[in-house]
Every structure is written in structure tokens, then in C-alpha cells.
Chains A and B, each alone.
Chain A
Amino acid sequence: MRLALREVLLAVRRAPLLSALGVITIAFSLFAFGLFGLVAINIRDALRQVESRVEIRAFIADATPIEAIVTAVGDIGEFPEVAHVDYVSPDSALARARRELGEFADVFEAGVLPGSIEIRLKQDFRDPRSVKMIAARVGSYSFVDDVRYGEDWVAKLYQIRTIATIVGVVLGLAFAIVAVIIIGTTIRMAVLARAREIGIMRLVGATDAFVRLPFLIDGFVKGVLGGFLALGLTWLASSLIDRALGFQTVFFSTGFAALGVLGGALIGLAGSAISVGRQLRRV
């Protein structure tokens, strides 16, 4: 291992510019992927916020006994799909309408608005099918006059989310493939620059493992450095966007950031292993 580390340092000392370019290429490839990831997680976050507003509202018939309503609210709250359920009395509905509509507040008079049960769903049950099914169950209570949940809006939102997911996966894959190809080519060039050295190593009796180890260390270290540099660049870009737009965008979680750096390291490692393996087969 000591000998392998010495070989790595020798390679860096012999061609510092090539080594630095290798790290920078890896960093910018991962940076492009990171920027895409940043956009993707912010779109996903925005869609989640919009989705969290998906709400089923069941309007209750006049003169329904409060005990029946309380029982129903309790039952609905037990539905596995339901995140939160609330009873809004006619008075509360009136107060809310007056508060929300400001200058038109005088239009409303007491007794105009019916009482309602408002239901918010858990994240995984906000698709049109689930929402429709739960609305139907709520509508089956005899005292429920009407159930509304903005059917068209939910369907469109779900469609947007599906398209965003597909586009995200396809673009993400494309970015990842491009990053792997660029990083792989960079490492291949570094290995080719040392092809003569590999030939000499084999000539004097070095085993494949002995030849391979310095290249694997080199690829791993470049991947890690490139990963950290990419993370730094992505954070810088995110901060600049926050400052320019005047609001806080979502940044990668620590775990996700660590995964990105680890990904860089693995690409560096795999790229080196493949490139040096190909070179070894020639000598």
C-alpha cells in the first residue's frame, strides 16, 4: 500500500496539470448533474407544497346533530389515507369567509354557509383515484349533502407530477450517463498517458493487482475531490440563485450530498478499474 501511495504521488508530481484537470473535469461533470438535481428537488418540493393543499370538503345538511358529526369526524380520522380531519361549523365558515374576502365581507350573512368536514390526505394518497375513492366514502354519510375536492385540478396536478417525474428520470439518467462518459474518458486518458509505465511494470514482473492499485487509489481520490468540488460549486450556485430570486431554495440533505460525493468516488474507482484493466489486457 505504501508503494502504491508513492506511485500515486509520483504520478501527480510528474503531471500535476493532468491530475488537476482530471479532478476539475470530474467536478464539472458532477456539478452539471448536481445542478439538475437541485432543480429537480426544488420542483418536487414545490409540487409537494401544492399537493398538500389537496382537500376534500364534505358539506353537511342543516340540522344535523353535532353528535353525528363528531362521530363521523372520528371515523374519518381513522381512515388510513387521512392525515387530518376537521369540522368547520357554519359560524366558523362565515368568519373565515369574511376574513378571506375582505371588502366583500358584508355580503355574507349568518346561516348562509353550511357546516363542513375538511379532510387532508397523506402524501401517498393525493392521486385522483385515491381522492375520488375517499370522497365517495365520505359522501356515503347520510347527512352529507355534497362532497367537493376539485376533481379537474387534482387530475391536472397529478398529470404534471407524473410528467415532471418522467422528465426528471430521463434527464437525470442522461446527465448521469454523460457524467460517467466524461469522467471515464478523463480517467482513460490519464491511464493511456501512463501506458508505457504499465508495460514496464508488467515487464519487470508486477502483478495485475500491483499495477492496478495505484490507479484505483488515484481514481478514488480524484472522484472524492471532484465530488467535494462539485458540491461546493452547487452550493455556491444555489446561494447565488437564492440571492437573485429573493427566496430560499431547497438544497441537498447531508445524506444526499454524501451520496453525491460517494457517487463521484465510485465513478472514479470504476473508471480507473475498467481503464487500467483494458490496458493490462494489452500487455
Chain B
Amino acid sequence: MIRLTHVTKEYARTGRALDDVSLHVAKGEFVFLTGPSGSGKSTLLKLIFMEERPTLGEVRVSGINSATLHRGDVAQLRRKLGVVFQDFRLLDDRTAHANVAFALEVTGAAEPSVPAKVSRLLMQVGLASKGLAYPQELSGGEQQRVAIARALVNDPFVLIADEPTGNLDDRATRGVFQLLREINAAGTAVVMATHNLELLRRSEYRTIDMLHGRIVSDTADPSAAERAAARIVEDDETARFPGDAGPKGQTSAAARSRTTA
């Protein structure tokens, strides 16, 4: 369903954001992406919903290949997956109902079917009575629920969530996470980037730990930790030569401590 094969992503100004990442997410899976800021979580998610293309390697999502991607494919892909962000990204001049409906309308959905579907989704996310509210009239948790409803409106096979609870208090965080669990239980895969250790501790889902653009552990793939450790040794070897020390050496040390923990 989602497969990244030896993906490297480099930015002209900030350098390497992802370094030889390989990953497979199966249908209906719930995957946590975790790691400190700058570890490459958001870049990895952007590659999945094709906002970015890899510098090296290949990303395949629902049959769409980043190597042969056309601009028109991106719109088609995004209708098949839902995306939510920490900052909600709602249209401020539209009601909650209109925000959700908009995602359906852009696909050319038959007009008569739109209101009923939107109402059903708002009910699903617990906002049945808030359809006519504008984003600024809603709490952070409620806004995120609207964003989730919008992401679900086209029945996606996967929901990509980039720090969806990052702006929420504990109670709202628990509510949103519970909603994501329910969505996943209904068959939609969820790939969620988070810093929230409490959520990770409480859940039994697959967790991928990232550091400096690399996967340093994956609960579904114990060999990932071994591969990471092997690369750390390689990096250390390289760091012995003058001019190669510095950030890479630091990366290795940090990564080793994490992988061996």
C-alpha cells in the first residue's frame, strides 16, 4: 500500500532530511512515527502524500510511483488519502460543514449526496451540533476533529497525521487519538507522526523511531535496529578521517544510544 525503497531526500538549503529510508505500511495498519524535531518525520509524510519527491529512491503509494509521477496524479492520490496537520489548515471563512463539504466538492461529487455525507462525518467525529460554527468559534480539539472529518470525507485508504495533537491539551489529545483509533478500527490505515510519549506508551501500535533522517528502530522490523547500528559503525569509521568528523559522529553516538536502549 505504502512502500518507500531506499529513499533519500535532500534540500538545497538545509541538506539531507531523509537518508536511505525503506519502509512498508500495510493496509489497515496503525503506525506511529516518532523522533525529535528535525528527525525527518514530516518529510517522510510529505513524501507519502507526494508534496515532495525523493532525491533518491522510490515512493509507491496505492500504485502511484514517485519516479513516474505526473502532476495530475497528485490530485488523484490526495483524493484517496486524508491528511491532517498540527495547525488544522481549515478555511476560516467557511463553516465546519462547508470545510468538510469542500473536500468532497473538489472531487466533483454529486451535489445532492454532499450534505448527508458531511453530516454523517461530523456526527462520527462528535461535532454533529457544530456544523454551522466557523473554525474560530471552535476549540483546538474541535478544529482538529473538523480537519479529520475533512480528511475522511473521500473514504481514504490511509490517514496521514502530522503531529495532530501537537496543539491540543491532554483531554483533547486523548479525544483525537481515540477518534483515530476508531477510524483505524474501521479499516483505514493511519500513519501518525507524534512527539507525545504518553500516547506511544499507552498504545500497542507499530512505532518507527527516527533520528537525523534515518529509521533507528521499527517495532515491526527488529532488523531495522541492527541495520541502523551497522550504519552507525560505518559512520564512525568514516568519522576517523579528518574533515569527516562532526555532526555525523554526533548522530552516530545519539543513534547508538537509542538503538541499544
Bound Cα distance A203, B51 (Å)? 9
Bound Cα distance A200, B94 (Å)? 13
Given contacts A204-B103, A204-B106, A207-B72, contact A197 B91 (CB under 8 A): yes
Quick one: CB contact mask for B70-108 with A, threshold 8 Å, 1 for yes? 011011111100010000011101100000001101110
Does B150 belong to the interface (CB within 8 Å)?
Answer: yes
- A200 contacts B91, CB within 8 Å? yes
* Interface SS, A side: helix
Does B39 belong to the interface (CB within 8 Å)?
Answer: no
Cβ-closest chain A residue relative to B75: A207
Does B119 belong to the interface (CB within 8 Å)?
Answer: no
Cβ-closest chain B residue relative to A197: B91
Bound Cα distance A205, B93 (Å)? 20
Does A3 belong to the interface (CB within 8 Å)?
Answer: yes
Tell me the smallest distance from the CB of A46 to a CB of chain B, in Å.
54
- A205 contacts B89, CB within 8 Å? no
Q: Which residues 24-76 of B sit at the A interface, judged by CB distance below 8 A?
A: 49, 51, 71-72, 74-76
For B219, the chain A residues whose CB sits under 8 A away are none
Bound Cα distance A172, B91 (Å)? 43
- B79 contacts A205, CB within 8 Å? yes
Mark B residues whose CB is within 8 Å of A: 49, 51, 71-72, 74-79, 83, 89-91, 93-94, 102-103, 105-107, 150, 154
**Chain A to chain B contacts (Cβ below 8 Å), 25 pairs:** A3-B105, A10-B93, A13-B93, A196-B89, A200-B89, A200-B90, A200-B91, A201-B106, A202-B74, A202-B75, A202-B78, A203-B78, A204-B78, A204-B79, A204-B106, A204-B154, A205-B75, A205-B77, A205-B103, A205-B154, A207-B72, A207-B75, A207-B106, A208-B71, A283-B51
Mark A residues whose CB is within 8 Å of B: 3, 10, 13-14, 196-197, 199-208, 210, 283
